[in-house]
């Protein structure tokens, strides 16, 4: 979850501010104008909020304290570089990716079409028994089920949930096999990542919808960062098993490797799964948003998903107001998204 975009947003704010006040300076005092002092304070508080959110998230995810997240020695820096080199030389394998259903491209096409019927969608799901079974299981999970009534057939799931709901459930279904259910360290971590991924995906989808775009695979893209975290963590454990000199993989090393390779892996998965070309733009907007781009649903969804998961599972180091200051969407939309997520959490 890199935060380099903060400086871009602040630079944009500074530029807008200077354009609004393009008048000759009449105050000869050395004291900066009030609006500049206010902007400086806003910049500092925004940076502090982002850093606090990032630190709080990784402390929760990796079960450590803030000091353990710092790569503060040559030994640790060298370990990070050794691992990155190993990963780039093939520690990531396509075989590690969750199975992409053969019917996935057709299914996404149907779900994005205004002319596709519920019967068409149901029949496509039923053409892949494993996908159909997993879809029903996901549809009846607490996060997705909107009532106490059990959804017992694919046809009923499509009817009740609609194409948008089914699209989101299918996206989550693709990732579910990655989640371990045991009480091992990886099992606990994978459950945390899964919870964060669901909230980030749901939030991204809501931001996209309320900003007028309901046809993109944004929900699936919202899950991708969580998926890459799991893949990277498993690759790190594999590196440790094959290289005895690495020893214990410290929290700071995990964090550093994730931040340097997560987005790259997201793009690789998009290519492997044959997702629409627009997917790469969403990923780039989230990773390196343009200062002129205000609507970045994927980035905003991941940010608010991070904030909400910390509120629920731990204590978010920032409040809603500070979280909203990091997001490009309006406060009206932010409140709608938060209300939606609160309903899912309950």
pLDDT at 35: 42
Does residue 153 form part of some domain?
yes
pLDDT at residue number 303: 94
pLDDT of residue 307: 95
Same domain, 189 and 64: yes
Using CA atoms, how far apart are residues 86 and 337, in angstroms rounded to an integer?
40
Same domain, 111 and 229: no
Q: Cα separation of 129 and 216, whole Å?
A: 25
Residues 6 or more apart in contact with residue 200 via CB below 8 angstroms: 222, 223, 225, 226, 301, 302, 305, 306
Judgement on whether residues 72 and 207 belong to the same structural domain of the protein: yes
- At 119, is the secondary structure helix, strand, or coil? helix
Q: What is the pLDDT of residues 46-100, one digit of tens each?
A: 888 999 999 999 999 999 999 999 999 999 999 999 999 988 887 555 566 666 6
Out of 178, 204, 233, a domain closes at: 178
Instruction: Identify whether residues 87 and 106 lie together within a single domain.
Output: no
144 and 58 in a common domain? no
pLDDT the model gives residue 2: 45
Domain contains 53: yes
Do both 172 and 212 map to the same domain? no
The answer on 272 and 158 residing in a single domain is no
Query: Do 170 and 189 share a domain, yes or no?
Result: no
Last residue of a domain, one of 178, 196, 230: 178
pLDDT at 34: 36
Q: Does 193 map to a domain?
A: yes
Which residues have C-beta within 8 Å of that of residue 88, sequence separation ≥ 6? none
Q: What is the pLDDT of residue 212?
A: 81
Considering 153, 178, 203, which residue would you say is the last residue of a domain?
A: 178
- State pTM to two decimals: 0.79
The DSSP call for residue 47 is H
Q: In terms of domains, do 85 and 218 share one?
A: yes
In a domain, 337, yes or no: yes
- Domain hosting residue 116, numbered range: 101-178
Which phi and psi angles does 9 have, rounded to 5°? -65, -45
Q: Are residue 272 and residue 123 in the same domain, yes or no?
A: no
Query: Does residue 346 sit within a domain?
Result: no
Does 295 fall in a domain?
yes
Question: Is 253 found in the same domain as 133?
Answer: no
Q: Is residue 21 assigned to a domain?
A: no
Whether 201 and 58 map to the same domain: the answer is yes
Number of structural domains found in the chain: 2
Q: Is residue 18 part of a domain?
A: no
Query: Mean pLDDT per 10-residue run, the chain (346 residues)?
Result: 46 42 38 44 80 94 95 94 87 62 74 78 86 82 78 85 76 70 80 90 90 76 90 88 87 95 89 83 83 77 95 89 91 93 80
Distance separating alpha carbons of residues 150 and 188, to the nearest angstrom:
28
Measure the CA–CA gap between 15 and 26, rounded to whole angstroms. 20
């Amino acid at each position: 979850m890199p935060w380099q975009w903060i400086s871009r947003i602040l630079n944009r704010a500074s530029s807008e501010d200077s354009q609004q006040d393009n008048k000759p300076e009449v105050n000869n005092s050395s004291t900066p104008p009030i609006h500049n002092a206010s902007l400086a304070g806003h910049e500092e508080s925004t940076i502090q909020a982002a850093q606090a959110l990032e630190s709080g998230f990784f402390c929760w995810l990796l079960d450590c304290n803030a000091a353990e997240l710092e790569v503060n020695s040559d030994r640790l820096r060298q370990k990070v570089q050794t691992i990155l080199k190993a990963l780039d030389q093939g520690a990531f394998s396509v075989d590690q990716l969750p199975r992409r259903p053969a019917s996935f491209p057709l299914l996404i096409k149907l779900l994005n079409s205004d002319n596709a019927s519920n019967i068409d969608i149901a029949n496509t799901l039923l053409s892949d028994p494993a996908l159909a079974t997993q879809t029903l299981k996901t549809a009846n999970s607490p996060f997705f089920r909107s009532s106490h009534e059990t959804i017992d057939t694919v046809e009923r799931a499509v009817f009740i949930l609609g194409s948008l709901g089914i699209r989101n459930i299918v996206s989550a279904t693709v990732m579910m096999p990655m989640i371990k259910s045991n009480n091992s360290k990886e099992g606990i971590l994978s459950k945390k990542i899964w919870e964060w991924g669901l909230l980030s995906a749901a939030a991204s989808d809501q931001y996209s919808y309320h900003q007028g775009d309901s046809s993109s695979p944004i929900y699936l893209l919202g899950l991708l960062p969580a998926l890459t975290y799991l893949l990277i963590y498993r690759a790190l454990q594999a590196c440790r098993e094959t290289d005895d000199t690495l020893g214990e993989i410290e929290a700071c090393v995990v964090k550093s490797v994730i931040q340097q390779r997560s987005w790259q892996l997201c793009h690789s998965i998009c290519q492997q799964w044959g997702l629409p070309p627009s997917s790469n733009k969403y990923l780039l907007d989230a990773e390196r948003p343009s200062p002129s781009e205000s609507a970045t649903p994927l980035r905003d969804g991941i940010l608010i998903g991070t904030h909400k998961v910390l509120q629920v599972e731990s204590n978010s180091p920032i409040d809603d107001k500070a979280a909203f200051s990091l997001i490009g969407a309006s406060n009206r939309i932010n409140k709608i998204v938060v209300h939606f997520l609160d309903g899912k959490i309950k």
